[in-house]
Amino acid sequence: MKASYKQHILQFKRPSGTSRGVLLEKETWFIILEEGGRYGIGECGLLRGLSIDDTPEYEARLKQVCDALNQGHLNLEMDLRDFPSIRFGLEQAKLSLAADDPMELFPSDFLKHADPISINGLIWMGKPDFMLAQLEEKLKEGFQCIKMKIGAIAFEKEREILESIRNRFNKDTIELRVDANGAFSPEEALDKLHTLAKYHIHSIEQPIRQGQWMAMRQLCEKTPIPIALDEELIGVHDMDNKAKLLETIKPQYIILKPSLLGGFQASKEWITLAEQQGIDWWATSALESNIGLNAIAQWTYTLKNPMPQGLGTGGLYTNNFDSPLEIVNGHLRYNRDKEWSQNLITELCT
DSSP annotation string for 320-342 = PPP-SEEEETTEEEE-TTS---T
Dist. CA 196–CA 223, nearest whole Å: 11
| Contact present, 311 and 284 (Cβ < 8 Å) | yes
Dist. CA 249–CA 233, nearest whole Å: 11
The single residue of 94, 138, 149, 242 carrying the catalytic annotation is 149
The single residue of 257, 268, 304, 338 carrying the catalytic annotation is 257
Residue 149 a catalytic site member = yes
Dist. CA 187–CA 105, nearest whole Å: 45
Angle at 47 between CA 65 and CA 182, to 5 degrees: 135
β-bridge mates for residue 205, sequence order: 179, 228
| Contact present, 310 and 120 (Cβ < 8 Å) | yes
Residue 192 a catalytic site member = no
**DSSP annotation of 29:** E
Dist. CA 258–CA 294, nearest whole Å: 12
**Which residues have a Cβ under 8 Å from the Cβ of 10 and sit 6 or more positions away?**
25, 26, 27, 28, 287, 289, 316, 317, 319, 320
Of 113, 128, 122, 114, the residue nearest 145 (C-alpha): 122
Dist. CA 166–CA 174, nearest whole Å: 8
List active site positions: 149, 257
